[in-house]
A = this chain, B = another copy of it.
Amino acid sequence: MELRQLQYALMIAAERNFSRAAEKLHIAQPSLSQQLSKLEKELGVLLFQRNTSNVELTHAGREFMKRAQRIIDEMDLLRVEMEDISQLRKGRITVGSMPITGSHLLPHVLPAFRADYPGIDVTLLEDTSHNLERLTANGKTDISLLSLPLNEPTLDYEPIADEPIDLAVPPNHRLALRSDPNAPGGVDMQELENEPFIILKQGQGLRKTLIDLCRQAGYEPQIVFESSNMETLQSLVAAGMGITLVPRFVARSKRSELLPVYLPLADPVPYRKLVIAYRKGRSRSKAAEAFIETLRGTMNRLTHA
């Protein structure tokens, strides 16, 4: 029993005439007769009472048509659903991101994505970069917004943006008061050798970046406080407890009460590479591709605004 046969039978039932039905089905009439005979033989049941001048449904035929129509309808629904998914009118992706980026970057991305693809549900999964790598490698997220370097070998990635890293100091800090903070030539890392650093806890990529930058400048940072929360860090800086480094997109907007002063660093300006990571060898869904595209677009607007 084939779908084609159901459709043929339904058409005959609708037309009550083999030749006309065959025409509508774009096949020759003998083919239709053949297929119907075959179907009836397989079912062991006569669907149509027919002679040369009349075609009408048997009891079995009526029961058959009811169910056959339902099946054909469901097939159409299936087709439509797949078409919707294929055309990105429907879908679902799970995106991983670090809490910092999640709260600062994605609020710009998600509305744009929702506007372009209103039918695609996005589930956000926030965790530390370390955990995210594992979750992404296990397929718990489709894609994750992370920063290099990645430790999981089963992850592939694709660059999204280079995000400059700025210095955050208390408002009354000597560097904040020194001439015009927007003047060319930023702060040199060497100038920070004796400053008290406030720093992220283990497991977050930015901690290592900060320490590495200090070492490249020739000293070990003097760490006076640690927190797992970037927001806390900035509040502590604003309160005068020390200084830290902050990725530019994560820098607090003016909405906040306690605001540190952000100063660019001197050439070579350090930056972190933001990437979209995904499981190696896994072809990303169209929805994921679309999300990445939107992400890129949004980052471009943010960077050049």
Closest to A2 in B: B3
Interface 9-mer from A75-83, A109-117, A157-165, A240-248: A75-83
> At the interface, yes or no: A68 with Cβ under 8 Å from chain B?
yes
> At the interface, yes or no: A27 with Cβ under 8 Å from chain B?
no
Interface 9-mer from A42-50, A193-201, A260-268: A42-50
- Determine whether the beta carbon of B75 is less than 8 Å from that of A1: yes
On whether A67 and B58 interact (CB within 8 A), knowing A44-B86, A82-B44, A86-B43, the answer reads no
Closest to A51 in B: B281
> At the interface, yes or no: A60 with Cβ under 8 Å from chain B?
yes
Closest to A74 in B: B71
User: How many A residues are at the interface, by size bracket?
Assistant: 35 or more
Q: What is the CB-to-nearest-CB distance from A263 to chain B, in angstroms, rounded to a whole number?
A: 45
> At the interface, yes or no: A139 with Cβ under 8 Å from chain B?
yes
> At the interface, yes or no: A59 with Cβ under 8 Å from chain B?
yes
A51 / chain B contacts, CB cutoff of 8 Å: 281-282
Q: List residues of chain A with CB under 8 Å of any chain B CB.
A: 1-3, 43-46, 49, 51, 56, 58-60, 63-64, 67-68, 70-71, 74-75, 77-79, 81-83, 85-87, 91-93, 139, 281-283, 285, 287
